Structures are given as C-alpha cells and as structure tokens.
Homo-oligomer: A and B are copies of this chain.
Amino acid sequence: MAESTTLRRYSAAGTRERILRGALAQFAGLGLSGASLREISKSADVPLSALHYHFGSKENLFIAVVEHYLGGLAKERLELLAACRERASSPSVEDIVDAFIRPLISLAATPDGLEYVRLQLRPFENPSIVQQMATLAAPSALPFLNALADALPGVSRPKLTRAYRLMVWGVVHTLVDSLYERLTQQPALPPKKPQQEQLRRELVEFYVAGFHALAGGP
C-alpha cells in the first residue's frame, strides 16, 4: 500500500500540452521578451527545467506555441477556400474574404483561441523570429493571395498584397485591441454568437468593398 515516493506529479503526456497552454497565455499578454519562463512554469504547474527539457530554449518554445495553435486556423481557412472552389469554379471576392475571416472569429470566440489571436500582434522582436513566423504564415497566405488575384484580374499583385495585409491586421486588431477597448468602452469581440455573426458580416462587407474599389468599382 506504500505509495511511490517519487516526486513526479504528472505524466509526461500532459506536460507538453500544459506548457504550451501556459506559454500561450504569457506570451500573448506580455510578448516574447516580456514573458518569463518562471511565470510560464508556474502557470503550467511544472518545474522550470521542464521547459528546457521539452523545448530547449525560450525562443523555441515561442515558435512551438505558434505552430501548435496556428495549425488549426490555417487548416480551416484552406478547407473553406477549397469548398468555395467546389461550388463554383472560381470563388468570388466575398467567398474568399469570408473564408479568411470566418475561422478567425470562431477561433477568437474560444479562450485559448483569443489568446492566440493576441499573440499574433507580438512576434516582431528579433529577425530570427520574424523569419520563422513568415515561414509559418506563408502556406496559408499564398493560396488566399492567389485566389484574390483570380477573382480580381485587373488588380496588380503589389496592390493586392497590400490590401490583403490591410485585411489581415485590421481584423486581428479588431478582435483583440485593448487600446481601443479602453478608448471607446466597447469590448473588441462581442460575447454572444449572433453579434459575432453580425460582426463577421460587417467585416466581410467592409473588405469586399475595399477590394472591389481597387479594381475600379464592383
């Protein structure tokens, strides 16, 4: 009946995931340099050395967090884009914009997902991280740019890229911007589902109009 006197508190299986969760929250709130491994280890309830054991370094952990949470979002977006292609041979601007925005709003409606969206605003601290983030982002960004180029054949690629970027960052900031939450006394993402649907329609409408304007009108 003597319980093992080992100090191990958790199975190895769950440790990695708990670290990723804790790290997500810390990095999202404080950024790469602002977060500390000590705090992450506390919030994940693992010893500090477990972070190094599993991830090697702070930067590696950061990238691991991004990879872990980015995957689902990119997958969902690409699936929606593919679904448009099945319905019509080439998707409309509205289809494309919706396929981009819809999964992000769903994601932001979950607690972890919202943290991940916040994290996206923080990674620009050293060139190595920027490089790795760009590599991670490319596989989901390029199909959208290509689809937009097909839907708007009159618009040059640089123009399209800039407009795509307006959409990317505008939407992310809309969902998590604490500065404007304070300035305007409005929550960034409404808590209830119907209002979130409303917000999605509003965003799609806004950006579809913008894209069409670049092509010289709808």
Least CB distance from A177 to B in Å reads 6
Q: Does A50 contact B (CB under 8 A)?
A: no
| Cβ-defined contact, B178 with A161, below 8 A | no
**Complex Cα spacing A58 to B73, Å:** 37
Highest count of chain B CB atoms <10 Å: which of A121, A202, A206: A206
Least CB distance from A98 to B in Å reads 14
- B residues in contact with A32, CB < 8 Å: 34
The interface bits of chain A over 19-46 (1 if a CB of B lies within 8 angstroms of the residue's CB, else 0) are 0000000000011111000000000000
| Cβ-defined contact, A31 with B138, below 8 A | no
A contact face: mostly helix, strand, loop, or mixed: helix
| Number of A residues with CB within 8 Å of any CB on chain B | 54
**Complex Cα spacing A137 to B177, Å:** 14
A170 in complex: contacting residue of B159, B167, B186, B208, CB < 8 Å: B167
- B residues in contact with A34, CB < 8 Å: 31-34, 125
- B residues in contact with A172, CB < 8 Å: 169
Which residue of chain B has its CB nearest to the CB of A36? B33
Least CB distance from A166 to B in Å reads 4
Evaluate whether A209 and B205 lie within 8 angstroms (CB atoms) in the complex, with A124-B179, A131-B182, A158-B186 already known. no
Least CB distance from A115 to B in Å reads 13
Evaluate whether A161 and B141 lie within 8 angstroms (CB atoms) in the complex, with A206-B166, A209-B209 already known. no
**Complex Cα spacing A207 to B124, Å:** 26
Given A137-B179, A163-B206, output 7 extra A-B contacts at Cβ < 8 Å: A31-B125, A122-B124, A134-B183, A165-B174, A206-B211, A206-B213, A210-B210
9 contacts between A and B (CB under 8 A): A34-B125, A124-B179, A134-B179, A162-B199, A168-B173, A169-B174, A205-B214, A206-B214, A207-B210
A interface residue numbers (CB < 8 A to B): 30-34, 121-126, 130-131, 133-134, 137-138, 141, 158-159, 161-163, 165-174, 177-180, 182-184, 186, 199, 202-203, 205-214
